[in-house]
Amino acid sequence: MRREVIERYPEARFWVAHNKTVPLETLRVLANDRDSRVRSMVASKRKLTPDLLTMVAADLDESVRLAVAHHKSVPKDVLKQLRTDTWEEVRYVARNRLR
């Protein structure tokens, strides 16, 4: 159903990602969305699996990587990777979370 929504109504992708009941399969699709706001929303979802967090941690957009650095369940190896991020804010959050 949600996959249909994002295909038929692309302008609704952000709100689909925002939905609390969005399935992981849909989040996997939205994690590759062209809109960084959608990807950032995906990165902030509590239900993300370690593999999805690892994937979005490599996003080109710094706001997405920052959302990963702040994520409650981000794996330590991803935080270690983000310690050397190109954006100082991401590095700062990752280093503090590892302490």
pLDDT value at 1 more than 60: no
pLDDT, tens digit, 9 for 90 and up, residues 16-71: 999 999 999 999 999 999 999 999 999 999 999 999 999 999 999 999 999 999 99
CATH code of residue 42: 1.25.10.10
What is the per-residue pLDDT for 3? 78
- Considering only CA atoms, give the Rg of the chain: 13
pLDDT value at 76 more than 90: yes
Structural domains of the chain, count: 1
What is the per-residue pLDDT for 31? 97
What is the per-residue pLDDT for 4? 81
Please provide the DSSP assignment of 48-79 as one string: --HHHHHHHTT-SSHHHHHHHHH-TT--HHHH
Domain that holds residue 55: 2-98
